[in-house]
Structure 1
Amino acid sequence: MTVTVEQADQEFLDAACLALRAPREGGDPLDALGWWDLLGELADRDARMAALALFRAQGRELATSAALGALMAQPFLAATGHAPGSLVAAINHRSRRRGERLIVIGDVAGRSLLVDRPGQGAGVVDADRVGLRPLEVAGRLALHEVELDPSAWAPTVAESHASPARARGQFLGRLALAWEILGAAEGALALAVAHAATREQFGKPIGTFQAVRHLLAWAKTDCVALESVAVTAARLDEATPPRHDEVVKALAGRNGRRACERALQVLGAIGFTAEHSHHHFHSRVLALDALLGTSAELTHALGGWVRQTRADLAVDAAALLASPQ
């Protein structure tokens, strides 16, 4: 079944792109969109689709917000007593060079941080009690490493309650990252399409050459395949098979990289320059792929799990048919 974006979803995506593109003097664009209100309504399919559309818009516009952390913290709100948007989850990230680290994205000023430690539970820390060290990465991502004094953290959500909330938060987080990777890949592809229409060789736009058309078609296919999987997962939500969020995130990392690489081939030398925007889209895809499991890590883990359990990762056709289209 081919899933396409409905008109209402497209309208919210367009509105989100416009809001993120507008000058910041007008305040928080997420406030203008009413996005924070959606966090309390994620059980509703339309609200969930609108909430995830923001991340696709962020990828296209190279915008950054605290939305990912707020989305991942949403399952903990009832246990912590926080209102939607007032709590932002720090992302557990393992660095090969520096070990376990906590990462936050966007401006978390005025919000509390949720620090979740598997096996120990989760605790809330005031943002003014932690240090935030900026991480220099391309892609126009506002990434910070959290410097937390161990004495400032204590579990306020028991592991028995934190475990299901953690699973739900990771599910939502991986879907959101997949949507943002999709948006960034689409941004890179749009640059390549525009370049192919104007750059001339032998008196013709290079977009008329078959080799270039093939590259653009392959990149578009990667984006459409990822869109179909991401939209289906967002619509089905908890009706998806076990570990389906890992499947979506793994596909996003792979397809996002491939789309950017093919777009770069079309752009040629200009795409390698610092002045061109391609490296921002490409770098964002790589940075987002590194969060909550890289494509390589997730694929390896899923392969081992399937070999052991003989599980079927395919989405049940009955669930697709039962889902409102």
Structure 2
Amino acid sequence: MRFQLTDEQKALRAAVRDVVGRSSAAGAWGLVAPRGGAADVHSPAPLVDRGFWRALGELGVFSLRLPEVDGGAGLGLPEAVLAFEELGWALVTGPLVATHLAAGVVPGAAAGEVVVAAVDDGFVEWLDAADVVLGDASGAVALRSVDPLTPLHRVPAPGRTEPVAVLLTAAEQLGTAARVCGLAVQHARTREQFGQPIGGFQAVKHLCAQSLVRVEVARAAVYAAAVTGDVVDIAAARLLADEAAVRGARDCLQVHGGMGFTWESEVHLHLKRAWVRARRGGGNTESEELLAADLLARAA
């Protein structure tokens, strides 16, 4: 199966990348303030940049799938996946998936005027920064998140994860996987050791090559799931995208060495974000069980 993007889809992808690239709320790190070192990322409760959130709303990120009569773009899952891939690539902060799903349901969500969080698999991201919380968040307990840019709370009652949310999370993971693959290749080309670029060493070549393979396999699966909308395809795409993001970020960190752990580098932030996303509903266990049930049903 071949996936050839239309001119309109390419333009959408370029527009999203342009907006997140120019914003101080996104940039390369996705910081809530301009880059300035550890002080930017050690805030106990990072806030959503409301100006940037409205910019995403004006671009149509949250209203992409709303019908035109309701003020949306009237597009589909493939276009939403392309947009969220770019958001993942730029490490954009905030409850993006929850706000997107709330467009048309929660007034102001589509325009980026309202920040919406959602209870997901017993956790809720960005609870304190949200104007509206979907699901029961009573009794929420703050957690120390591995990702300093994604505040987390645990809630007693897990929420229900919609297939679209699972797919959009996979798209974000795909963006992260592509970003860290590019960072690893770039560093391998420029960092020298023993008088030559480290990319000349076989072990580093293998790490970069394997990362690229995982990205392309995950991309094919995510794009296919966006076209079919099938829950089994979405589960497979999520598993592949989670693996591509987490393993790709770990390998990128390996290529960078100790430099990748410093606050001057964005590499460790990509790994931490990939870990947090992988814990969302629709992750490993849930998707694996869905795929296993489908295989057993086919065998029967």
Contact 1:65 1:106 in 2 (8 A): no
Cα deviation, 1:205-262, whole Å, max 9, x if unaligned, reads 112333322221110110111111111111222xx3x433222212211222222222
Pairing 1:92–2:113 present:
no
Q: Once the 2 structures are TM-superposed, how far is the Cα of residue 131 of structure 1 from its aligned partner?
A: 8.4
Count of aligned pairs: 267
Partner Cα distance (1:4, 1:214) in 2: 28
Cα deviation, 1:256-302, whole Å, max 9, x if unaligned, reads 22222222232223223444221101111111010013324532x13
Pairing 1:34–2:42 present:
no
Match of 1:114 in 2: 134
In structure 2, the gaps of 5 or more residues are 26-48
Match of 1:247 in 2: 236
Q: Once the 2 structures are TM-superposed, how far is the Cα of residue 55 of structure 1 from its aligned partner?
A: 1.8
Where does 1:1-325 land on structure 2 (aligned, <5 Å)? 1-21=1-21, 22-23=23-24, 27=52, 28-41=54-67, 46-73=75-102, 77=105, 85=110, 88=116, 90-93=118-121, 101-105=122-126, 109-110=130-131, 112-115=132-135, 135-139=143-147, 141-145=149-153, 170-237=162-229, 240=230, 242-299=231-288, 301-302=289-290, 304-306=292-294, 308-310=296-298
Partner Cα distance (2:4, 2:148) in 1: 29
TM-score by structure 1 length? 0.69
Match of 2:40 in 1: none
Partner Cα distance (1:18, 1:106) in 2: 28
Q: Once the 2 structures are TM-superposed, how far is the Cα of residue 175 of structure 1 from its aligned partner?
A: 0.6
Distance 1:307 1:222, change over 3 A: closer
RMSD (Å), alpha carbons: 3.5
Greater fraction of residues in helix = 1
In structure 1, the gaps of 5 or more residues are 94-100, 117-124, 151-165, 313-325
Partner Cα distance (1:268, 1:191) in 2: 13
Distance 1:306 1:37, change over 3 A: closer
Partner Cα distance (1:29, 1:106) in 2: 21
TM-score by structure 2 length? 0.74
Contact 2:66 2:73 in 1 (8 A): no
Contact 2:61 2:80 in 1 (8 A): yes
Q: Once the 2 structures are TM-superposed, how far is the Cα of residue 183 of structure 1 from its aligned partner?
A: 0.9
Q: Percent identity?
A: 27
Contact 1:178 1:249 in 2 (8 A): yes
Greater fraction of residues in strand = 1
Distance 1:214 1:146, change over 3 A: closer
